[in-house]
Structure 1
Amino acid sequence: MMKALYSGVSGMRSHQTKMDVIGNNIANVNTNGYKTQRATFRDVYYQTMSNPSQAATGIGGTNSSQVGYGAQIASVDTIHTLSGYSPTNKETDLYINGEGYLKVIDASGEMYYTRYGALNFDSEGQLVDSNGSIVLGLNSVIDASGTVTTAVVPKTAEGTDGKGIQDTLVGIKIPINDYSNITINSDGTITGVKTGTDTIETLGLIAIATVPNQAALKLEGSSYYVAGNNTGTITYHAAGLGGSGALVTGGLEMSNVDLANEFSDMIITQRGFQANTKIISVVDQMLEELVNLKR
């Protein structure tokens, strides 16, 4: 009976954690760029009551007898499926139409990856996200035809991608007072018309990071990820190259939470939790009967 009591407790804990995951998903149903999570279970440990025996002449074989000790959380996975485009009509809002992440650096020098493309130019001409972190770009890129495009931007940030590989990235900063009609294009190039002329110049190039194993990215909050030990070698490209998606301006990525699925999982999880509490109450009644045998 005591085994059943521990099994019930472990089942309650596991279902409680799964409900926490479901609750977080539902809370972020309208969070731009949010990726839904799922919790999976696994069994814990088995006590072997008897070992299997092999059949012999005149004797049949027997199977093992084992009693389990409940369940535990096996994993909490992030599902990195591409979600829909939500128009905002803001020219500096970016939607990555495919694989890839923006890379940013905050005031303390920490670097993050994000798919939340709500960007702005600050008073210094730096391209920043909604948290004030600077968006990183490439100094140069070779396109499919072999043409080298150079972005004339000052180097303000340098770091590693979590694997010890030196980045060839810079903080994007442009002289906004000297240009008009500043535009972010689908390949990530930032162009503007030089004041007093009709000349269109390339001012910057947004870097899109391609992560081989997105599931290994660690969530940091504020729509940020950091590289983990199992992400693989992260590479940087212009949007649309190297397996990355092109940029679509004027909109953001929607959350990929499926409310119908979350509500279904909520009901199943609630019933699972309820069933495990019933185990505990029934075992308690059985223990009470044992205690009362002496009366």
Structure 2
Amino acid sequence: MLRSMYSGIAGLKGFQTQLDVVGNNIANVNTSGYKKSRVAFQDMMSQTIAGASAPTDIRGGINAQQVGLGSQIGAIDVIHTQGNRQTTNRTLDLALEGDGMFIFASGTNDVAIDLADVNLSYTRAGNMYLDDANRIVNANGEYLVGADADGNPTVITIPPTASSFSIQGNGVVNYIDENNQTQVAGQIMLAKFSNPGGLEAIGANMYRSTVNDGMIGTNGIPTLITPESDGSASIVSGALEMSNVDLAEEFTDMIVAQRGFQANTRIITTSDEILQELVNLKR
């Protein structure tokens, strides 16, 4: 069979994957904290018809003759750029301006957290809530990880007697007690990654650590970083970071993928016509 036919099939598979990625980006255009993905292609192994030869005393060198065998997916990258900020005026809606991610813990009901004994996940989506015990959780019921006055990991709890509470840019959660005095409930902490693209998406706006994410920490346990310190993000209360998807870019990529898909179908149909001519040589 013709090599071009198999190259066309490889191209169809690649552009179908690109359409899948573009479709997922568009579907999440209004998902808070969502980070868009992109597809990077690379060529496949080439078949060498003739090898290269070195120059001699009577003639110059000759380049190798190779025929490519199509394309393949080289990488599907997650682009962790800053998304636009949407104001909600809701205290427990938190947006991050800068580097870092919120840390959430599950698998425990204790206020004091041992990070080595809980399931940790990370996100840029800051839509938080209070549960029945007045602890700050996300939409999945996972606890927001903070620190107490001694810097130990803890679940931040707002006392039920508090008349109001607020969250500062450095993550400090203040509340007004029954004596109309300002008290500190805890401080929201962040995790940082030198390669956030290495995180594994697990759904529900959450990511899980991998061996290639460059986490700042040891043995898979993140170092708790104070917001607005060491180049980390500032927390903006009353706002959400929205998706970083650019619809104009996605629709352009969709058109490119569609035309690429169509071009590869032409390769297959043209190869089929050539094979038909070969079959018709014997009449």
Q: Same fold (TM over 0.5)?
A: yes
Contact 1:104–1:134 under 8 Å retained in 2: yes
Partner-residue secondary structure (3-state), 1:92: coil
| Residues 1:251 and 2:231 aligned together | no
Write out aligned runs for 1:103-122 (5 A): 103-107=103-107, 109-122=118-131
- 1:174 pairs with 133, 151, 158, which one? 158
Letter in 2 for 1:214: P
What residue is the counterpart of 2:17 in the other structure? 17
Offset at 1:110?
2.6
Offset at 1:107?
4.8
| Segment drifting more, 30-39 vs 230-239 | 230-239
What residue is the counterpart of 2:259 in the other structure? 271
Write out aligned runs for 1:129-278 (5 A): 129-140=138-149, 150=150, 168-175=152-159, 177-195=160-178, 197-234=179-216, 235-278=223-266
Query: Aligned pairs, how many?
Result: 268
Inter-partner Cα distance in structure 2 for 1:114 and 1:57: 65
Contact 2:158–2:175 under 8 Å retained in 1: no
Partner-residue secondary structure (3-state), 2:132: coil
Offset at 1:210?
1.4
Deviations along 1:44-66, one digit per CA (max 9) or x if unpaired, are: 11111001111112223211000
Contact 1:210–1:243 under 8 Å retained in 2: no
What residue is the counterpart of 1:81 in the other structure? 81
Contact 1:37–1:79 under 8 Å retained in 2: yes
Deviations along 1:195-247, one digit per CA (max 9) or x if unpaired, are: 1x132111111111111211111111100011111122323222111221111
| Residues 1:125 and 2:113 aligned together | no
What residue is the counterpart of 1:159 in the other structure? none
Deviations along 1:145-183, one digit per CA (max 9) or x if unpaired, are: xxxxx47xxxxxxxxxxxxxxxx52222232x2222111
Inter-partner Cα distance in structure 2 for 1:113 and 1:60: 59
Post-superposition, which runs of at least 4 consecutive aligned residues in structure 1 deviate over 6 A? none
What residue is the counterpart of 1:64 in the other structure? 64
Inter-partner Cα distance in structure 1 for 2:215 and 2:58: 61
Inter-partner Cα distance in structure 1 for 2:272 and 2:72: 22
| Residues 1:37 and 2:42 aligned together | no
Contact 2:4–2:268 under 8 Å retained in 1: yes
Offset at 1:279?
0.6
Inter-partner Cα distance in structure 2 for 1:261 and 1:189: 38
| Segment drifting more, 231-240 vs 114-123 | 231-240
Offset at 1:119?
0.5
Partner-residue secondary structure (3-state), 2:231: coil
Deviations along 1:9-31, one digit per CA (max 9) or x if unpaired, are: 00000000011001111111111
Q: CA RMSD in A?
A: 1.5
Inter-partner Cα distance in structure 1 for 2:256 and 2:214: 36
Contact 1:210–1:242 under 8 Å retained in 2: no
Residues 47 and 75 of structure 1, relative CA distance in 2, 3 Å threshold:
same
Partner-residue secondary structure (3-state), 2:163: strand
| Residues 1:293 and 2:276 aligned together | no
Inter-partner Cα distance in structure 2 for 1:31 and 1:88: 14
Letter in 1 for 2:182: I
Which sections of structure 1, spanning at least 5 residues, go unmatched? 141-149, 152-167
TM-score, structure 1 normalization: 0.87
TM-score, structure 2 normalization: 0.91
Contact 2:28–2:243 under 8 Å retained in 1: yes
Which sections of structure 2, spanning at least 5 residues, go unmatched? 109-117, 217-222
